[in-house]
Structure 1
Amino acid sequence: MPDVVVVGNTVVHANPARCDASDVRLAIEVISPGSRRTDRVTKFSEYAEAGIDHYWIVDLDPPVSLVCYRLIDEDYEDFGEQAGYAELEFEGAPLKFDLNALTPDAQRP
């Protein structure tokens, strides 16, 4: 199970106890010391096999960073890594957020 999932409004309004992988538009994993290999290898392939179009990995080790992957021809392709203040687009919507705000230990500009 991902740390964060983004699903469509239909699923949100239905409020199921669990959602199907086919309902997940974006899966986000936050790496912890014990999950690094699982998040970067095991879940990477599991989510691709399940057909989840977007997979983001957040690494809280300084500098806090975000790597975005998109499913292309059944494999994830790297769509860029960002650190600090991230600006990206998800399904046509611009997103902006401060990755450093995710941890009190991160370096602030």
Structure 2
Amino acid sequence: MSEQPRLSARPSRQELRKAIVRLRLEVQRQELRQEMHQLMQPLQHVREMGEGLRRQLPASAPLWAAGGAGLLALVLGRNRRLRRMLRLGLLLIPLLLEARSRNRSESGDEKAP
């Protein structure tokens, strides 16, 4: 929370208006922070679930991702542009995950004596 505006002993109307505007802005900022926190809670929950799933099934995670993308392609298969993007994703996800795991293993090998 930010500082409250400081007013002189006998503030002018302009100073009072400025102080009121600053207080309103601060209240709006706090409301936005609270709303964003409430909106982000489900997303955080999904992220935590995904991280837990990745820890439990590290080798088969690309298969789950490919299966989910394939299922999505079947459900939304009539849209050609979406189908092309899903195919590209199916091709790139395993390659990106493999490159990521290689980078992690190489950086871990460098740290070992």
Query: Normalising TM by the smaller chain, what interval?
Result: under 0.3
TM-score, normalization: structure 1?
0.26
Structure with the largest fraction of strand: 1
Q: Which structure carries more relative contact order (alpha carbon 8 Å, separation 6+)?
A: 1
Structure with the largest fraction of helix: 2
Greater Rg, structure 1 or structure 2?
A: 2
TM-score, normalization: structure 2?
0.25
